[in-house]
């Protein structure tokens, strides 16, 4: 059979699809197509193959990203699905980010990955794209890109790891990383045992198997309708993960064939109502504080304002229903066994916009009704028996955080949610590392640890340093938690009474920058209050005495750091580059019917 036959159903004359899309500019479109075909045929492709819808597949694997270790196998399954549906799969690389390998922090590179992904999709002839991501800023970066470009996409996460045991205790990265590291710092376990635990905490490829940022984002994306049902919870190493990858590839071809209709574009799928569904899920799963920043950034690129006070009020009516660490006791493999996210959504139906369209072609309500019901459940609670009565996150305001701060109160110590204490201040990450374990540190368990200059511009990159370690002398005395306040982030796997994302940040001369050792701070989560006990005149006097931010930051005149520190926005608006955010034209609704 000749390899030069064209498919009878291929859109051969449509310049907006397939190989004819986005031709390189040589001043002669026919020559551009001729040259493009000549070079791609060097890879052995026939005209028949090139006349099919082209489905891009992002390759976010690298040797520095163990959470994406299954991506090569996932890509093969996606390609298989694309070809089954009559499409042409084309894999292309993008930046690969892993939290524990990225210096100074993965958040510093999220916006760069978003730019990279957007321009790779813009510059190549793709009719639809499968976005493969996982840890930890990768899916947010991909969705920011998709929101800016609006090419039809399906997101599929790499999936969570499985767990293993240590002396009968089930382990999971990275909540148990922090729990056992705290035991080691306190002298409760020795070097030999922490080394043994180190080899067990991440027993398979995949993302953290607790409700950290990766799994939180995966659940929110499924709820928002940009991934197929079941993709959030299936473990990374299971056959189901690869079957879902194949199914995603098949569905991508269908989206690519109808791309010109715009029905399944990110801007259509990610409506304000769909974003609200995602935020309902964030509260109900006791999800990561990081997710709030990421979805604020995604919404902003769509021209939608995600108001923090609206988000907080939404959470007052949404209970935490998923008993997973760090808010609960179990792991993602148990959520999978309980029916995955669809089992959670079934309990949340009164709070959801059920008529939102998803990339499957069905509405969210239809997908929930079609999902299998698991009778014997381990981690999904019914709404009348939650693990926490209100949403997992709360937004605080006050003179210490005029534009807001966030606390995951579902993973905090109840006795510290209303607390007044003396500030013990660390001026920077370096100062924290130098002094926190000093036996001479003037600190008690009732004090409040304050970290400055760890925000988007100050660090730079807003690292996951908000989980300040308990000073060693207190840890050794048995102290497990203290109130901690910073303009940094913390891992979604972390726990404790920790106030994060204080805005404006210290580096922008926000009030956090003027806190001094001995100042009294009041925290009242029920009243959503974070207050520095100084009068307004003293606060303004101290702020006026600060150096100008530009002088203090010593921003280089060239390079990515210059771009980042001169254009990154504050946490309350998503930490995106300011030139990527259009003016808001809509507000995310609060509740169903509002």
Q: How far is CA 80 from CA 232, 241, 248, 508, 563, in A?
A: 21, 14, 10, 50, 40
Lowest mean pLDDT among 24-38, 150-164, 206-220, 576-590: 576-590
pLDDT higher than 70, residue 12: no
The predicted pLDDT at position 15 comes to 62
Q: Taking residues 399-413, report their average pLDDT.
A: 97
Q: What is the pLDDT of residue 376?
A: 86
- Class at the top of the CATH hierarchy for domain 394-557: alpha beta
DSSP code string of 541-557? HHHHTSPPHHHHHT--S
Q: Alpha helix (H) ranges present in 13-137?
A: 29-40, 47-50, 71-84, 106-123
* 59-103 confidence digits (pLDDT tens): 999 999 999 999 999 999 999 999 999 999 999 999 999 999 999
Q: Which residues contact 461 (CB under 8 A, 6 or more apart)?
A: 104, 105, 107, 108, 109, 564
pLDDT at 594 > cutoff 50? no
156 pLDDT exceeds 70? yes
The Cα 558–Cα 540 span in angstroms is 34
- Judge residue 535's burial from the number of C-beta atoms within 10 Å of its C-beta, 0-12 exposed, 13-18 middle, 19 or more buried: exposed
pLDDT at 1: 32
Answer with the residue of higher pLDDT: 585 or 390. Answer: 390
Find the mean pLDDT for residues 359-375.
Answer: 96
pLDDT, one tens digit per residue, over 224-267 is 999 999 999 999 999 999 999 999 999 999 999 998 888 999 99
Cα-Cα-Cα-Cα dihedral of 447, 448, 454, 458, to 10°?
Answer: -90
Is domain 52-162+204-285+320-370 classified as CATH 3.40.50.300? Answer: no
Q: Residues 295-301: what's their mean pLDDT?
A: 96
Q: In the chain, what's the furthest Cα-to-Cα distance?
A: 85
Q: What is the pLDDT of residue 17?
A: 83
State whether residue 317 is helix, strand or coil: coil
Q: What pLDDT, on a 0 to 100 scale, did the predictor assign at position 6?
A: 35
Mean pLDDT in residue range 35-52: 90
pLDDT for 260 equals: 86
What confidence score (pLDDT) does residue 49 get? 86
Average pLDDT score over residue span 197-213: 95
pLDDT bucket at 47, cuts 50 / 70 / 90:
confident
Closest CA to 388 of 329, 460, 301: 329
Residue 321 in tokens: 């229903």
Question: Residue 205 and residue 196: Cα distance in Å, rounded?
Answer: 18
Per-residue pLDDT band for 415 (boundaries 50, 70, 90) equals very high
Q: For residue range 491-541, list pLDDT tens digits in order.
A: 999 999 999 999 999 999 999 999 999 999 999 999 999 999 999 999 999
- Average pLDDT of the chain, as a whole number: 93
Quick check: 11 pLDDT over 50?
no
Domain coordinates of the chain in residue numbers?
A: 52-162+204-285+320-370, 164-198, 394-557
Pseudo-torsion of CA 130, 136, 138, 144, nearest 10°? 100
Radius of gyration of the chain (CA): 24
Please say if the pLDDT value at position 213 is more than 50.
yes
pLDDT at 339 over 70: yes
d(CA 242, CA 244): 5
pLDDT reported for residue 10: 40
Coil, helix or strand at residue 271 = coil
């Amino acid at each position: 059979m000749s390899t030069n036959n064209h498919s009878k159903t291929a859109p051969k004359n449509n310049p907006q699809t397939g190989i004819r899309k986005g031709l390189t500019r040589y001043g002669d479109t026919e020559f551009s197509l001729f040259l493009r075909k000549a070079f791609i045929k060097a890879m052995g492709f026939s005209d028949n193959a090139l006349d099919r819808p082209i489905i891009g597949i992002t390759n976010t694997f690298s040797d520095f990203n163990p959470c994406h270790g299954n991506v090569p196998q996932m890509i093969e399954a996606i390609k298989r699905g694309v070809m089954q549906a009559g499409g042409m799969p084309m894999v292309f690389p993008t930046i690969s980010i892993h939290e524990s390998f990225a210096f100074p922090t993965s958040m510093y590179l999220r916006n760069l990955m978003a730019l990279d992904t957007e321009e790779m999709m813009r510059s190549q002839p793709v009719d639809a794209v499968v976005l493969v991501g996982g840890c930890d800023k990768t899916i947010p970066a991909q969705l920011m890109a998709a929101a800016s470009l609006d090419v039809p996409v399906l997101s599929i996460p790499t999936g969570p790891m499985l767990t293993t045991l240590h002396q009968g205790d089930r382990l999971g990265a990275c909540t148990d990383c922090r729990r056992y590291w705290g035991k080691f710092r306190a002298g409760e376990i020795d070097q030999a045992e922490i080394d043994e635990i180190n080899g067990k905490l991440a027993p398979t490829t995949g993302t953290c198997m607790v409700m950290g940022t990766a799994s939180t984002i995966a659940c929110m994306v499924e709820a928002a309708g940009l991934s197929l049902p079941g993709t959030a919870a299936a473990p990374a190493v299971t056959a189901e993960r690869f079957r879902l990858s194949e199914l995603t590839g098949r569905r991508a071809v269908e989206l690519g064939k109808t791309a010109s209709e715009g029905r399944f574009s990110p801007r259509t799928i990610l409506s304000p109502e769909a974003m609200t569904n995602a935020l309902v899920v964030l509260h109900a799963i006791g999800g990561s504080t990081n997710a709030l920043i990421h979805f604020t950034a995604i919404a902003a690129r769509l021209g939608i304002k995600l108001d923090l006070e609206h988000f907080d009020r939404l959470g007052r009516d949404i209970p935490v229903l998923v008993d997973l660490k760090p808010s609960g006791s179990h792991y993602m493999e148990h959520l999978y066994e309980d029916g995955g996210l669809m089992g959670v959504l079934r309990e949340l139906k009164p709070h959801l916009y059920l008529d939102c369209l998803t990339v499957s072609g069905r509405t969210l309500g239809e997908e929930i009704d079609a999902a299998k019901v698991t009778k014997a459940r381990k981690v999904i609670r019914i709404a009348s028996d939650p693990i926490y009565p209100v949403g997992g996150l709360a937004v605080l305001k006050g003179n210490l955080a005029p534009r807001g701060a966030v606390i995951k109160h579902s993973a905090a110590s109840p006795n510290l949610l209303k607390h007044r204490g003396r500030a013990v201040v660390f001026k920077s990450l370096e100062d924290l590392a130098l002094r926190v374990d000093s036996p001479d540190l003037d600190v008690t368990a009732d004090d409040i640890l304050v970290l400055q200059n760890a925000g988007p511009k100050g660090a730079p990159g807003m690292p996951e340093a908000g989980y300040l370690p308990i000073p060693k002398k207190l840890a050794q005395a048995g102290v497990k938690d203290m109130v901690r306040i910073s303009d940094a982030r913390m891992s979604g796997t972390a726990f404790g009474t920790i106030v994060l994302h204080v805005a404006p940040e210290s580096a922008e001369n926000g009030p956090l920058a003027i806190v001094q050792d001995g100042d009294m701070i009041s925290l009242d989560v029920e009243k959503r209050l974070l207050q520095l006990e100084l009068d307004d005149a003293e606060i303004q006097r101290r702020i006026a005495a600060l150096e100008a931010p530009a002088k203090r930051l010593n921003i280089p005149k060239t390079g990515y750091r210059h771009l980042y520190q001169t254009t990154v926005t504050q946490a309350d608006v998503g930490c995106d580059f300011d030139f990527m955010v259009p003016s808001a034209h809509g507000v995310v609704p609060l509740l169903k019917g509002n």
